[in-house]
């Protein structure tokens, strides 16, 4: 019997999956993941449009809100959480909402995804404004909790970006910027933690990273807004300063100390021969954009 949702359909490619040797099994699983990359590539124009639409709202001080259930919800939590150490994006401006609440990050909360009203209430509980951007994610494209969050977001004039793995679904119709990640049937039928989830992770990574680049969180391809919260990141910060300014390691560490660990402040100070305070003021005038701070006369 066929299923109207591609992600729930039986995959005809491997009817004897459980009979494969371990080596062949892993080959099959890994090869199937390539479909996720292809689906994300096809979605590039839609992702680009979403970035362009979201950017002005974030420049006005808006937030990134995420809504999802199960695997999709956990991927939203992951994307939101990683923005702070990678780009110094304030955690108050990346708000992940997941069906079932925080408990659902670590364990399945059965039935939570079916509660449309709870999704609606969860989004309103984040106190959305028209400057905010909601990234709604659901493999099926039909998850009631996510649709409830989207309905609440629309009423508050929040920009809605919707990621789903099935065409023609309610999530895509409700989104201002629908992003279809058409990955088809899973190799283990219905297990959307596989290539559907991989395509979502690629799309979320690409979407949020592109936004951070456009917001001046990257100089060249250097992660100049990272938070150096451990020894590994402190060493990375010094390497970034050295690479950007061609200074030696002691100079990089000295500049970072003067800049309170802020990589782009250290880069601007060293490049232009400024104090850390002067470099910070120059960055503030350039809305934190390192390239603009360096190139402004």
Catalytic residue among 82, 117, 234, 249: 82
Q: Is 186 a catalytic residue?
A: no
Catalytic residue among 110, 113, 117, 186: 113
Q: Is 107 a catalytic residue?
A: no
Q: Which domains does the chain have, with CATH numbers?
A: 6-214 (3.40.50.10490), 231-295 (1.10.8.1080)
Q: Is 184 exposed, middle or buried (0-12, 13-18, 19+ CB in 10 A)?
A: middle
Q: Is 85 exposed, middle or buried (0-12, 13-18, 19+ CB in 10 A)?
A: middle
Q: Residues 14-53: pLDDT tens digits?
A: 899 999 999 999 999 999 999 999 999 999 999 999 999 9
The whole model's pTM is what?
0.93
Q: Residues 156-196: pLDDT tens digits?
A: 999 999 999 999 999 999 999 999 999 999 999 999 999 99
């Amino acid at each position: 019997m066929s299923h109207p949702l591609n992600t729930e359909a039986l995959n005809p490619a491997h009817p004897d999956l459980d009979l494969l040797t371990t080596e062949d099994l892993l080959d099959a699983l890994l090869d199937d993941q390539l479909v996720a990359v292809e689906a994300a590539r096809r979605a590039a124009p839609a992702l680009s449009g979403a970035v362009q639409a979201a950017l002005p709202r974030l420049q006005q001080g808006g937030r990134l809100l995420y809504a999802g259930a199960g695997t999709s919800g956990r991927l939203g939590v992951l994307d939101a959480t990683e923005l702070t150490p990678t780009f110094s994006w304030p955690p108050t401006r990346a708000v992940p909402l997941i069906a079932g609440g925080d408990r659902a990050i670590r364990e399945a909360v059965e039935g939570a995804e079916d509660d449309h009203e709870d999704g609606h209430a969860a989004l309103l509980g984040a106190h959305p404004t028209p400057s905010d951007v909601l990234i709604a994610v659901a493999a099926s494209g039909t998850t009631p909790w996510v649709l409830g969050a989207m309905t609440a977001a629309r009423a508050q004039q929040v920009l809605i970006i919707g990621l789903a793995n099935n065409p023609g679904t309610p999530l895509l119709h409700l989104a201002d910027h629908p992003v279809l990640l058409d990955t088809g049937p899973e190799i283990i039928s219905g297990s959307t933690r596989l290539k559907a989830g991989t395509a979502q992770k690629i799309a979320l990574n690409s979407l949020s990273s592109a936004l951070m680049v456009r917001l001046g969180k990257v100089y060249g391809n250097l992660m100049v807004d990272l938070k150096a919260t451990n020894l590994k990141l402190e060493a990375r910060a010094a390497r970034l300063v050295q690479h950007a300014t061609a200074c030696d390691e002691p100079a990089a560490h000295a500049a970072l100390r003067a800049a309170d660990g802020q990589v782009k402040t250290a880069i601007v100070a060293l490049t232009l021969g400024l104090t850390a305070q002067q470099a910070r003021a120059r960055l503030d005038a350039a809305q934190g954009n390192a390239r603009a701070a360096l190139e402004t006369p």
